[in-house]
Structure 1
Amino acid sequence: MPAPSPKTPKTIAIVSQKGGSGKTTLALHLAAAATHAKKTSCVVDTDPQATAAAWGDWRGDFLPVVVTSPPARLARTIENAHKQDVEFVVIDTPPHAESAMREAIKAADLVLIPSRPRAFDLHALEAIAEMVNFTKTPAYVVLNAVPAGATKQVAEATEAAKALGLKTCPVTFGERADFHRSSARGEVAAEVDAEGKAAGEASALWKWTAKQLRG
């Protein structure tokens, strides 16, 4: 009898029109958290700047694996991951690249849209809202670099996303030094300070994301 086919990996697309929104930070922390949870995971870096791939180079032989792929070959790259029994794929996309975002959204089971809770950043959600509303792919805005005590700002950002037909993830990322410090060393926040707030936020995002994918 032929061997059973491996399960298709659960795929998350991290998309944003804005540069500096935190896409790579989310992608790397989700994939690392999946690895910590004993899930075989990889990051697919479709950004020509290859920031995630550089992080992978700095990280060396430690998981998760980071691979690069032009958007046109994204489906084939995920298919190859499928053949290698990868369970969890995170796609990191470039800003200002609608074709790349469309390919990622098309391939995804879940779309996460990082955004700072500021007017200019929230305005950039409109184009992505149109894409995900067209494909019907489950999508959530993840508020990133949220200032301490910004309860009103978060509430206003949530309403702005809702007006575009987008839901907001209940987990937010603060403006944490551990996110920046860890990335520059090929690490994630939990490897810098396992008890820190950044590590806690990353862990909470993974648990919430895993629940969405199971549902």
Structure 2
Amino acid sequence: MMHVIVVASQKGGAGKTSLLRNLAVATHQVHGSTVILDTDPQGSLTSWWNRREDAQPPLVKLELSDFAAGVERLKAAGIEYLFVDTPPSVRPELRTLLAHASLAIVPVRPSPDDLDAVGDTLALIEEASCPFVFVLTQAKPRTRLQMQAVMALAKHGKLAPTVVHDRQDFPTAAISGKAVTEIEPETAAAREIKEVLDYVLTQLRKEASKAERQA
């Protein structure tokens, strides 16, 4: 089985691309068989990948007009995980991606503006009947706003129990096209990414088991 993980947020600055590249690298480190796809016209994921010395995980190109066929080709090649970065706006392509997603990850910063913007993203996800999880990102440790955001998001869906905090390790790693788990595997930033990944993989297993039972 191949898992398509779409990272989506209609609010710019939510840490969407940063979360994706760090999760994708961590997945590749543990499982291999991981590729990434950049569908954001800004091309931030592509720019980061071009700075990497390591060509793993590979950056692939798929025609969104024939996305299902592209996914099947990757599956036939033995790929297990496809991480997809998306534009921070409502575009027809996002509906296509969500329709084929095994899971959507919605990064949210603990700010009133970001929490208010979640509804637009959820509307698209629910329209596609796509399972999803929230990940709280770029948080300041031990703040009241963080706790309020946790409670607000938990009312709307599943929330990763680990918060990804605003740490200098993330931009420092990105400068050289790396992920935090490649720089120092035991830092707080690396641990947070690994814990979020464990949660995401658990949700993917649950969704796969549910699909098997329904089949």
Name the TM-score, length of structure 2 as normaliser: 0.88
Distance 1:103 1:159 in 2: 30
Amino acid at match of 1:59: R
Q: CA offsets, 1:82-123, max 9 Å, x none? A: 121110111100101332322221111111101101010111
Q: 1:173 is matched with which residue: 149, 161, 164?
A: 164
Moved more, 76-85 or 43-52: 76-85
Amino acid at match of 1:140: V
Q: Is 1:201 paired with 2:201?
A: no
Offset, 1:148: 1.5
Partner secondary structure for residue 124 of structure 1: helix
Distance 1:72 1:156 in 2: 40
Amino acid at match of 2:16: K
Aligned to 1:30: 23
Q: 2:59 is matched with which residue: 45, 60, 66?
A: 66
Partner secondary structure for residue 172 of structure 1: coil
Q: Is 1:20 paired with 2:21?
A: no
Partner secondary structure for residue 37 of structure 1: helix
Amino acid at match of 1:135: A
Distance 1:76 1:22 in 2: 29
Decide whether the 8 Å contact of 2:5 with 2:101 is kept in 1: yes
Aligned to 1:212: 203
Name the TM-score, length of structure 1 as normaliser: 0.88
Identity of aligned residues (%): 28
Q: Is 1:107 paired with 2:100?
A: yes
Q: Is 1:41 paired with 2:12?
A: no
Q: 2:152 is matched with which residue: 139, 160, 164?
A: 160
Offset, 1:141: 1.3
Q: 1:133 to 1:33 in 2, by over 3 A?
A: same
Decide whether the 8 Å contact of 2:63 with 2:70 is kept in 1: no
Q: 1:156 to 1:98 in 2, by over 3 A?
A: farther
Decide whether the 8 Å contact of 1:18 with 1:124 is kept in 2: yes
Decide whether the 8 Å contact of 1:144 with 1:172 is kept in 2: yes
Q: 2:69 is matched with which residue: 67, 72, 76?
A: 76
Aligned to 1:3: none
Offset, 1:20: 1.4
Offset, 1:72: 3.1
Q: CA offsets, 1:121-173, max 9 Å, x none? A: 111110111222233321111110000112x323321333345x333221211
Distance 2:141 2:104 in 1: 26
Structure 1: gaps spanning 5 or more residues:
1-6
Structure 2: gaps spanning 5 or more residues:
207-215
Decide whether the 8 Å contact of 1:45 with 1:91 is kept in 2: yes
Decide whether the 8 Å contact of 1:46 with 1:70 is kept in 2: no
Distance 1:171 1:26 in 2: 13
Distance 2:112 2:195 in 1: 26
Decide whether the 8 Å contact of 2:95 with 2:128 is kept in 1: no
Decide whether the 8 Å contact of 1:43 with 1:90 is kept in 2: yes
Q: 1:13 to 1:183 in 2, by over 3 A?
A: same
Q: 2:130 is matched with which residue: 119, 133, 137?
A: 137
